[in-house]
């Protein structure tokens, strides 16, 4: 029997929000260092180390990509943070989705308002984005993800009747 397996990595571009968060964390770190130098001279070095480490973690956490893994009828979406940590954010069978459709289709507005959780694992302003609605962790979840030819093969094979043009 043929086993279906596919991995796809979606590289996320930094946005203005990411730059703003990074800038704000640097400014707050500098303010903490200056204030601790003037008011807590004996502990200022420890506070500096903690503030710089926290700033580094905040900036590093804003660098992330997504990886889609399709095994048979199961889709898994992982968030790869700073190319060193992996966090599973969604795992579900394609057969159990209520609907799969293009993000800019007529179905998008109908389903976007009736969900409890939204997972956006797509590139902003992409035309190849698909959305799906499924129950995940007891919540009705809307998932945005990128498609290509292989992803469409999985959808055609396991959830063709749920895909709306």
Query: pTM value?
Result: 0.78
Residues 90-126 pLDDT 10s: 898 888 888 888 888 877 778 777 888 888 888 877 7
What digits encode the pLDDT tens for the residues 150-165? 888 888 888 778 777 7
Give the H/E segment covering residue 134: strand 129-136
Residue 44: count other Cβ atoms within 10 Å of its Cβ.
17
Query: Which of 57, 51, 62, 61 minimizes the C-alpha distance to 27?
Result: 51
Helix (H) or strand (E) holding 19: helix 16-39
pLDDT tens digits for range 39-48: 887 888 888 9
Confidence at 24, pLDDT banded by 50, 70, 90: very high
């Amino acid at each position: 029997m043929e086993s279906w397996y596919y991995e796809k990595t979606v590289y996320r571009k930094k946005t203005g929000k990411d730059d703003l968060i990074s800038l704000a964390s640097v400014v707050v770190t500098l303010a903490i260092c200056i204030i601790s130098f003037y008011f807590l001279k004996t502990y200022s070095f420890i506070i500096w180390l903690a503030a710089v480490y926290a700033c580094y973690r905040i900036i590093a956490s804003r660098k992330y990509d997504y990886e889609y893994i399709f095994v048979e009828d199961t889709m898994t979406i992982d968030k790869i943070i700073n190319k060193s940590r992996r966090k599973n954010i969604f795992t579900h069978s394609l057969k159990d989705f209520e609907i799969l459709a293009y993000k800019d289709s007529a179905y998008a507005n109908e389903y976007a308002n009736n969900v409890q959780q939204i997972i956006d694992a797509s590139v902003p302003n992409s035309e190849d984005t698909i959305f799906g609605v499924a129950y995940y962790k007891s919540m009705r979840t809307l998932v945005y993800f990128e498609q290509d030819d292989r992803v469409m093969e999985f959808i055609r094979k396991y959830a063709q009747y749920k895909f709306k043009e």
